Structure 1
Amino acid sequence: MLNKIVPYQEHFHDKLIDIWYQAVCQTHTFLTDEDIEFYHQMLQNGALKQVEIWLELNENEEPAGFIGLDGTKIEMLFVDPKYHGKGIGSRLIKHIENIKGSNLQVDVNEQNDGAFAFYKRIGFVQVGRSELDSSGRPFPLLHLVLKNHA
């Protein structure tokens, strides 16, 4: 299966929102339905257009996962739950590292053990913590940076 990573394409917008929704419902079990709806509205109202997005297409040329960046900061990384554990997240981060260099950062919800374990496994280390998320909501964030692979 030869998947390819491509820049954001407008006609995939709704599919990316759907991937986000499916992934969040499965992995962000600490969020209420109201919380998920709050973030869902943010995405539908243009949050995807505020970041640089790369997506991995599956064998049917449809998005299987995507990563969104602000400079060297990963703002979002979501993979369709059907494709969890197949290396898509790792490939997207490797792609970004090849473009941006290895000083990547990411914030992870403290309650999202799976995401924290994923980032640690590929070389990120925690450098800080915040009590509130970027929307001022009470979901603590762990601040991670990619260790220099030199």
Structure 2
Amino acid sequence: MSREEVKDRILYGYYLEQLYATATGRIDRLFSVLTLIFGSAIVLKANPFVFGVLIVIISAVQSTYQFGKQSAGAAKQSFEYLRLFTNEAQCNDADLKARLIELESTDNNIWSCLKPIALRKTQIKIGLPVENQEKLSRLSTLLRLLCG
């Protein structure tokens, strides 16, 4: 694997973790806002049973998936990728590849729907011509808008 391919994998890992951190952070904030809104609806006596059940469901999903914790972990991992990319000139080829493999071993379990978006962002960053870039599906394009 050439040095440029290693740098491309570092960038891809950075964008993938960054997208995941953004997506899970936004989901966590959305659930928090919904919990506040539904809690207010209970106080205002607007069908407390339904809104109570919705709060329980949201709380269960938040406790199970821990989107805030996932977001923080992915943000930290994306920072590590960015640090490696920034300091790549100080490493020889073998050391850079070894550090990449070590960093990839601690990657988060990221949703596969974010992978084409990360690939596209990497291709844009490395200057690949538009006609050679990954084409995104409609769902991926929508996710790209939501995840930043």
Q: Same fold (TM over 0.5)?
A: no
Bigger helix share: 2
Q: TM-score, normalised by structure 1?
A: 0.24
* Larger-Rg structure: 2
Greater RCO (Cα-Cα under 8 Å, separation 6 or more): 2
Bigger strand share: 1
